[in-house]
Amino acid sequence: MIALTECVAPSFYEIHKDIKRYGHTHYWLSGGRGSTKSSFISVELILGIMSDPLANAVVLRKVKDTLGESVKEQLTWAIEALGVSQFWDVPETKLVLTYKPTGQEIRFRGADKPKKIKGLKYARGYTKFIWYEELDEFTSMEEIRMINQSLMRGGKKFTVFYSYNPPKSANNWVNTEVNFTRDDRITHHSTYQTVPIEWLGEQFIIEAEHLKLTKPKAYEHEYLGDVVGTGGEIFDNVQTRKISDEEIEEFENVRRGMDFGYSVDPLSYNVMHYDRKHKRLYIYHELYKVRLSTHAAYLHISEENKKNDYINCDSADPRTINELLQYGLRVGGVKKGPDTVEYGVKFLQDLEAIIIDDQRCPETAREFLSYELDKDAHGNFKAGYPDKNNHSIDAVRYAMNDEALDFRERMKKNKPDTSTSEGRAAANLARYDKPIKKKRGEFVG
């Protein structure tokens, strides 16, 4: 008998319990070097197949050629660590592992062409377990969904593992996706610091500590698995969570904004509440669609905006504004200038928090989480904010246009924000801090 504590690090104990009780379907396990997340998943796959006679597994990496020397070897280690080698057939050349008593299988697939990964047939059971190793090598969440839709058939319970070292950039699709909330998803982060030192060896610790001293940013990314960023992230104040109906009912300072689009760019309409006192913006409704007619947009908005509150729109499209006015909506174009985009973004950056309900507003959350400065051919950041993948951001800017204009004036005059108690206190202090003017020869005590 082998105790699980001999091959599973303490940081994974609660995740193991959650898997046993079918707490979730999707397990996103991130971490740095030596965090043992892949070891943990390989142990769970072996145990899961041996405890369920209908369970089979598919293990995927983006490139097929890497399967044999990575995940297959990892699963072979798990079989030996659990002391069950006599029950498993582990051929040297074939990419398959077979549980001898029942014929259940662990199959390996490369996702070079994800459309070719179809539902798999087994002599017994179905694909209960799926493991995406090095998730960040895959192209997008759309690619993952396509594969899941093909494999998650024919059974009642599924467990899908996603293991990865977080990419540096917050703009990467993996780092963006993990911020989205789903009831059937659990996220877990681990580092080598939660692993028994004897498992890693003295040299591993020496290398980690050396990198920590010489290149702390690289250490944070490689060993701690932190999203250290590229330096080009534009919004670092975004939070994603469910905004309840009860919260929405209490919102009073509601704003609405709309950015127009049709054939290529989507029409984006957003509804939000601005908590001026705490400098927080709550975004809880979106309409985000390509090829949406003006009349269809009107029908959606009139249903949502029953009081027909005013909507700030992109002033560059007076024809659409006029058409919406004809339908009876209270809309108008915002004032623009050469620096309104810059100060509109800076106003949003200056907020304490931009809280987005990512289930109600998935596209808005995606834009804000992934908005990043462009780079030139030499890898340097370009000046100005990129005008792409920012349709909801523009709609939010328009909704908050009055505040952004006030913010611009304050920044240009270096004045405090008197809409808050802190700003009023700073303004009062500034009044008494001004130098006293005196006439020539006049003494001021």
The residue written with tokens 């047939």 in the block is: 121
Query: Residue 120 is encoded by which pair of tokens?
Result: 């798999």
Which amino acid is located at 323 in the chain?
Answer: E
Report H helices in 95-253: 141-151, 173-177, 197-200, 202-214, 216-222, 245-250
| Nearest-angstrom CA–CA distance, 311 and 276 | 19
Residue 47 CB neighbours (<10 A): 18
Cα atoms in the Cβ-side hemisphere of radius 13 Å centred on 76 = 14
CA end-to-end span of the chain, whole Å? Answer: 88
With b meaning 16 or more CB within 10 Å and e meaning fewer, what string describes 14-38?
ebeeebeeeebbbbbbbbbbbbbbb
Whether the CA torsion 149, 152, 155, 158 is positive or negative: it is negative
Per-residue pLDDT of the chain (445 residues; tens, 9 = 90+): 688 999 999 999 999 999 999 999 999 999 999 999 999 999 999 999 999 999 999 999 998 887 877 899 999 999 999 999 999 999 988 999 999 999 999 999 998 877 778 778 898 999 999 999 999 999 999 999 999 999 999 899 999 999 999 999 888 999 999 999 999 999 999 999 999 999 999 999 999 999 999 999 999 999 999 998 888 889 999 999 999 999 999 999 999 999 999 989 999 999 999 999 999 999 999 999 999 999 999 999 999 999 999 999 999 999 999 999 999 999 999 988 888 999 999 999 999 999 999 999 999 999 999 999 998 888 888 888 999 999 999 999 999 999 999 999 888 887 656 555 555 555 554 444 444 333 433 333 3
List Cβ neighbours of 200 (8 Å cut-off, separation of 6 or more): 34, 192
SS3 content of the chain, % helix, strand, coil (to 5): 40, 20, 40
Neighbours of 359 (CB within 10 A): 16
Place of tokens 């062409």: 113
CB 62 within 8 A of CB 137: yes
The two tokens of residue 326 are 């004809």
From residue 162, how far is each of 28, 71, 109, 272 by CA, in Å?
5, 13, 15, 33
Residue 425 pLDDT: 54
Q: Is the pTM of this model over 0.75?
A: yes
Please, is 167 exposed, middle or buried when counting C-beta atoms within 10 Å of its C-beta (0-12, 13-18, 19+)? middle
Domains identified in the chain and CATH numbers: 8-222 (3.40.50.300), 238-374+381-429 (3.30.420.280)
CB contact set of 77 (below 8 Å; sequence gap of 6+):
39, 42
- Residue 435: per-residue pLDDT: 42
189 phi-psi bin (left φ>0, alpha ψ -120 to 50, beta other) = beta
